[in-house]
Amino acid sequence: MPCKLCVERGKPWSGDDPRCAFERETFSPDNWNCATMNALRNIAEAQGHTHRDDMGPCSIGFVPFEGDDAGYIVMTWYKNRGRTGNAVVMRDSEIRTFTYQDARDALAHNARVMEEAR
């Protein structure tokens, strides 16, 4: 089942259907225009935590989050065409699978951070 943000957004364009990155609770690189991943990439860009390289291997960004298993969501993508090629959770000595719960924690944490910055 698609994530909450994909369901809420629906498909407001003609063309290919979106593919949610969280159909199975863990991140899938077989995604396109997932509303949750787009929101996380937008947060990384707004906070200045990205490096864009359209001519190189990929662009990269990260989003910090708090919660039971706090860390950084590190994402890669090629240009801004809707697909997030890879996403993992990183901490000092650990890299692990990125879950939908991590995404929800990051969106909640960063909504507070972005609001406090205003």
Q: Which residue has the higher pLDDT, 113 or 62?
A: 62
Q: Which residue has the higher pLDDT, 116 or 35?
A: 35
The pLDDT assigned to 81 comes to 78
The pLDDT assigned to 47 comes to 92
The pLDDT assigned to 118 comes to 56
The pLDDT assigned to 117 comes to 58
Condensed to tens digits (0 to 9), the pLDDT of residues 46-76 reads 999 999 877 777 899 999 988 778 899 999 9
Integer Cα distance of 109 and 117 in angstroms:
13
Q: Is the pLDDT of residue 42 over 60?
A: yes
Contact status, residue 72 vs residue 63, Cβ threshold 8 Å: yes
Q: Which residue has the higher pLDDT, 3 or 115?
A: 3
CB neighbourhood size of 95 (10 A):
11
